[in-house]
């Protein structure tokens, strides 16, 4: 939902003092002037100028002023060095390096100011919230050797050849594998940490006008390289707001260089290509750095480095020979410049506050990067199975009758639906938790009616709390003293949907148990176990605040300023809401909480979506790269508003949105209050049929999606896998960001994003045949080929990679929970060698008994002569380092397996066999089957694939079995 709209109630507009907003049209485009650029932000302006001077300086004239003393051991796997800057010899810094026990060679570099003569300290708690363990166990095998101004740490598995070479003067840190540098810290001497100082007693420099440089007294190093005069260092004004900056300048910058690579990925959330283009230099694609600063931005540009709603400071660098990653645990506003240069990619990170806390992920392939990130931040827990199905949302469904009408008409149109959503208008005066009795007089009855069909509902709970004593949330929070404070210590007030509002400080531990109680069924009596939650506006969005957000000098628990924790703020709200839903039931059931704002680690608490997009072709085209970027950064349960939040898409565009949405991990249609109603049942044929087909296809493929969610819950692997992750040695695919694989299923999908497109091209990396999911046309194996596929409005590219076995449920019911006893069909697309593999994971879909072994996990193997189903051991797929994914030993007689022991394999379709079998025998004897001649997967020509269908094979989803082909 959006902060400013023509539908703001007039009473709120008057209070707002912004009546002019009433005349703003509903669709107006992003107002870039509401958000800062780097040169309008004092710390970014100062720190970015270091690189500008370095670029202009004669070769060899620009050296880092930072140097190290000798190492001091802290115990196994950890060392510190005193770090000194020649700019300010009296200021003490410290460099610390840890080598982690888990993750096959993760190194952690921290730098902080020590023993400051001021009362200030740097924010150092990002790891507390982002990581599973803020201080992970350290390696007992890492060793350090020092010689001639260097410290060399050897670490990681014996076969990895990993080392960290630390040059003492000038400071430089290089991660190497087998002697080859892969990450270099401070290669360009751009590292700089502004020290704490008291403005009134600063005696070592003259602060001149903005256009002049600092002048030093005596013979100290010229500081003008690093610290231009800046009148905004102690107080910064922007438009009508003043940031008091009580701690003065505390920004820091660092440069990270990745030798031997041409592609870097990550830094979500941005509407940019997956392979990040340059922001500086002669080939700059953008004129501004990538900005990580969570903001409420609507109708965002479809291609821009501007901030969006989330910020994950994770970067992957990739080449055909190696992959490395960096996680920079900083929660303050951060800008990142990217520059490709002479066989390497150079990055420059500039942050407003905090410490340097960088974790180096060694790879050496994308698969290991995903697993190493999961070691640190945890994988995405299994969500409720129903949440992976179709969601219908609108701002707003008007009343109970409207909700039940939508529910009924989906059934009439034979379109499945799992979740109906309510936006802000369900709440009386936008007092979340309080249903408006005028339009929702009996919410429990409504919820029960929806739940009777296996469906759920989601209602919004935003972080802004209406400031009125009669509202229990406000009065409780005020009495508990858990509200965010202004710089003067009074409770912060701002404007949002509720009018005058306050915000709970979820960094304050006193708020946690209270917030949990708010969701208890005894407290929130008008909720049921069929109601789940949507956390919107949690960047936080403050209508009358700077950049539509909260003043940076606001104060959180522990005395930290909002500037220090801004990008984590939304995750704290998401975290506590998720925990509250878990606590409301015994035994606990899996929560579903959608968040708009996120940070590293947010994936542990639920799903996110890409915010207030536009229903146009440009935004449809851009969503895939955004979702892929989220996926590689661990935020796998993500999606975009299908149809676009703003606008009224044409019929063609809406169909293409639904086809794309059916292959997003989070599949939700959503629309602005001023758009035309566009529920799929409202359209005439054939449009309704196209929309129905896309939604029903999602339900057919739900077992494939649940497999992908399960794999991600074990090792952190993406659900949407970009080309570079699936084929890390194929350079031609590294920059491709408009197609992807669904987990390890072998399904390759590409949305059609061009108006009027009758054909679409798909790139194939590997030398395997690919089968059209709909027509079974086989494209012969040829690595590096580009296929041109017919894509009239009724269809889109969906290919099955040769060698894959897909479990599907052909019988689609009105909601996914009603399908749990239906048979599972297998679609086998043979490789050019005539073989295929696949899997099927099942559990109860709602609880946590799977952690005690109550699940079914099958492996399917077809070798041309037999098809086998065997137990798939959890330990064979879980990475040893992802401790949180430990699963109880599997027993096929577990209670859940017994519950579904009657569920059968309905039929088996095998595509691409080279010859017709003479007989097929199952455990109970000869089976019935049909054969259609066609092209073999091993052939050199394309055409309709041969098709063998085994009907009712008499085998189940629980036990081992084998079918023989003669």
Active site positions, annotated: 536, 539, 612
What DSSP character marks residue 454?
A: T
Handedness of CA 243, 245, 249, 254 (dihedral sign): negative
Residue closest to 540 by CA, chosen among 574, 591, 579, 580: 574
**C-alpha dist (Å) from residue 677 to 392, 645, 662, 670, 674:** 12, 12, 20, 10, 9
Beta strands in 215-333 (DSSP E): 215-216, 236-238, 241-243, 252-259, 263-266, 290-292, 310-311, 314-318, 323-328
Residue closest to 391 by CA, chosen among 556, 239, 594: 594
Which two structure tokens, joined as six digits, stand for 292? Answer: 């990580």
Instruction: Give per-residue burial for 286-321: e unless 16+ CB within 10 Å, then b.
Output: bebbbbbbbbbbbbbbbbbbbbbbbbbbbbbbbbee
Whole-number Å distance between alpha carbons of 322 and 511: 45
List the alpha helices (DSSP H) in 418-530: 443-451, 472-480, 510-518
Whole-number Å distance between alpha carbons of 586 and 589: 8
3-state secondary structure of 388: helix
Q: Report the relative pairing of strands 641-642 and 667-669 from DSSP bridges.
A: parallel
Residue closest to 719 by CA, chosen among 803, 842, 637: 637
Specify whether the CB–CB gap between 141 and 155 falls below 8 A.
Answer: yes
3-state secondary structure of 199: helix
Which two structure tokens, joined as six digits, stand for 164? Answer: 């960290």
Distant-in-sequence contacts of 896-899, Cβ < 8 A, 24+ apart: 896/842, 896/843, 896/844, 896/849, 896/850, 896/854, 896/855, 896/856, 897/854, 897/855, 897/856, 897/958, 899/844
Q: Residue 686, preceding bond cis, omega within 30 degrees?
A: yes
**C-alpha dist (Å) from residue 825 to 141, 304, 704, 807, 897:** 49, 44, 11, 6, 18
Nearest-Å Rg of the Cα atoms of the chain is: 29
List the alpha helices (DSSP H) in 357-460: 366-377, 400-412, 443-451
List the alpha helices (DSSP H) in 505-561: 510-518
List the alpha helices (DSSP H) in 701-804: 702-715, 723-726
Handedness of CA 195, 200, 206, 210 (dihedral sign): positive
Which two structure tokens, joined as six digits, stand for 685? Answer: 């044929």
252: left (phi over 0), alpha (psi -120 to 50) or beta: beta
Beta strands in 629-714 (DSSP E): 638-639, 641-642, 667-669
Specify whether the CB–CB gap between 301 and 30 falls below 8 A.
Answer: yes
Phi, psi of 587 (to 5 degrees): -70, 155
Specify whether the CB–CB gap between 697 and 662 falls below 8 A.
Answer: yes
Beta strands in 218-355 (DSSP E): 236-238, 241-243, 252-259, 263-266, 290-292, 310-311, 314-318, 323-328, 334-341, 344-351
Phi, psi of 784 (to 5 degrees): 80, 20
Residue closest to 168 by CA, chosen among 153, 188, 150: 150
């Amino acid at each position: 939902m959006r902060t400013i709209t023509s539908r703001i109630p007039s009473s709120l507009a008057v209070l707002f003092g912004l009546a002019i907003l009433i005349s703003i049209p509903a669709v107006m485009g992003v107002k870039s002037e509401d958000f800062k650029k780097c040169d309008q932000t004092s710390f970014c302006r100062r720190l970015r100028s270091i690189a500008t001077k370095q670029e202009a300086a004669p070769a060899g004239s620009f050296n880092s002023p930072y140097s190290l003393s000798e190492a001091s051991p802290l115990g196994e796997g950890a060392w510190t060095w005193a770090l000194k800057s020649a700019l300010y010899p009296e200021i003490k810094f410290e460099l610390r390096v840890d080598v982690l026990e888990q993750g096959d060679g993760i190194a952690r570099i921290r730098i902080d100011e020590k023993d400051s003569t001021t009362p200030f300290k740097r924010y150092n708690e990002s790891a507390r919230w982002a990581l599973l363990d803020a201080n992970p166990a350290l390696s007992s095998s890492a060793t350090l050797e020092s010689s001639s101004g260097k410290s060399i740490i050897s670490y990681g598995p014996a076969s990895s050849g990993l080392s960290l070479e630390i040059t003492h003067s000038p400071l430089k840190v290089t991660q190497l594998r087998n002697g080859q540098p892969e990450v270099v810290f401070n290669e360009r001497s751009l590292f700089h940490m502004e020290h704490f100082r008291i403005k009134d007693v600063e005696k070592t420099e003259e602060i001149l006008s903005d256009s002049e440089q600092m002048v030093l007294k005596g013979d100290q190093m010229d500081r003008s390289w690093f610290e231009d005069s800046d009148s905004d260092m102690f107080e910064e004004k922007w438009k009508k707001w003043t940031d008091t900056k009580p701690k003065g300048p505390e920004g820091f910058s660092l440069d990270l260089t990745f030798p031997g690579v041409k592609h870097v990925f990550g830094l979500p959330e941005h509407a940019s290509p997956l392979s990040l283009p340059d922001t500086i230099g002669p080939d700059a694609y953008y004129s501004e750095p990538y900005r990580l600063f969570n903001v409420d931005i609507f109708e965002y540009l479809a291609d821009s480095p501007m901030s969006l709603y989330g910020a994950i400071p994770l970067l992957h660098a990739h080449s055909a020979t190696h992959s490395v990653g960096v996680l920079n645990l900083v929660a303050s506003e951060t800008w990142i410049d990217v520059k490709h240069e002479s066989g390497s990619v150079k990055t420059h990170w500039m942050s407003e506050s905090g410490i340097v806390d960088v974790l180096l992920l060694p790879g050496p392939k994308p698969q290991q990067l995903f697993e190493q990130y999961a070691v640190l931040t945890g994988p995405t827990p299994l969500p409720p199975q129903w949440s992976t199905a179709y969601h219908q949302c609108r701002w707003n469904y008007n009343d109970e009758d409207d909700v039940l009408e939508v529910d009924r008409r989906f059934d009439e149109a034979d379109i499945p639906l799992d979740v109906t959503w309510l936006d802000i208008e369900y709440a009386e005066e936008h007092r979340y938790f309080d249903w408006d009795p005028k339009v929702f007089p009996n919410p429990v009855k409504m919820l029960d009616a929806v739940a009777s069909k296996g469906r759920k509902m989601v209602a919004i709970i935003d972080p802004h709390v209406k400031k009125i004593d009669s509202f229990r949330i406000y009065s409780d929070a005020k009495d508990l003293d858990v509200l965010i404070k202004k710089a003067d210590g009074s409770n912060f007030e701002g404007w949002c949907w509720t009018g005058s509002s306050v915000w709970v400080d979820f960094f304050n531990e006193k708020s946690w148990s209270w917030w949990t109680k708010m969701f208890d069924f005894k407290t929130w009596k008008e909720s049921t176990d069929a109601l789940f939650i949507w956390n919107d506006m949690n960047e936080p969005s403050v209508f009358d605040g700077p950049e539509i957000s909260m003043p940076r000098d606001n104060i959180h628990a522990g005395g930290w300023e909002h500037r220090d924790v801004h990008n984590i703020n939304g995750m704290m709200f998401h975290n506590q809401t998720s925990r509250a839903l878990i606590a409301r039931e015994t035994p606990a059931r899996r929560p579903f909480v959608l968040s708009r704002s996120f940070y590293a680690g947010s994936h542990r608490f639920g799903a996110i979506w890409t915010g207030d997009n536009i229903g146009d072709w440009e935004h449809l085209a851009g969503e895939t790269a955004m979702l892929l970027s989220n996926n590689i950064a661990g935020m796998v349960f993500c999606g975009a508003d299908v149809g676009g939040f703003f606008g009224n898409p044409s019929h063609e565009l809406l169909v293409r949105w639904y086809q794309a949405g059916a292959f997003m991990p989070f599949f939700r249609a959503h629309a602005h209050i001023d758009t035309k109603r566009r529920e799929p049942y409202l359209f005439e044929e054939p449009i309704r049929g196209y929309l129905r087909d896309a939604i029903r296809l999602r339900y057919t493929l739900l077992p494939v999606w649940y497999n992908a969610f399960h794999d991600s819950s074990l090792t952190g692997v993406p659900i949407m896998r970009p080309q570079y992750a699936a084929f890390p040695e194929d350079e031609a695919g590294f920059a491709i960001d408009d197609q992807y694989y669904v987990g390890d299923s072998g399904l390759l999908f590409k949305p059609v994003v061009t108006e009027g497109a009758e054909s679409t091209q798909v790139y194939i990396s590997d030398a395997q045949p690919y089968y059209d999911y709909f027509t079974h046309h086989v494209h012969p194996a040829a690595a590096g080929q580009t296929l041109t596929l017919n894509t009239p409005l009724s269809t889109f590219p969906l290919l099955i990679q040769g060698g894959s076995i897909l479990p599907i449920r052909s019988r689609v019911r009105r909601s996914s929970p009603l399908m749990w006893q239906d048979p599972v069909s297998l679609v086998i697309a043979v490789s050019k060698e005539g073989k295929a593999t696949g899997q099927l994971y099942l559990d109860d879909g709602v609880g946590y008994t799977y952690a005690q072994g109550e699940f079914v996990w099958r492996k399917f193997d077809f070798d041309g002569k037999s098809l086998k189903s065997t137990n798939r051991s959890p330990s064979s797929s879980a990475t040893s380092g992802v401790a949180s994914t430990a699963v109880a030993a599997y027993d096929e007689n577990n209670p859940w397996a017994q519950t579904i022991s009657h569920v059968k394999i309905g039929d088996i379709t095998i595509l691409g066999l080279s010859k017709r079998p003479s007989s097929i025998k199952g455990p109970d004897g000869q089976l019935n089957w049909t054969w259609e001649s066609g092209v073999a997967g091993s052939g050199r020509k394309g055409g309709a694939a041969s098709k063998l269908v085994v009907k009712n094979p008499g085998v189940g989803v629980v036990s081992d079995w084998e079918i023989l082909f003669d």
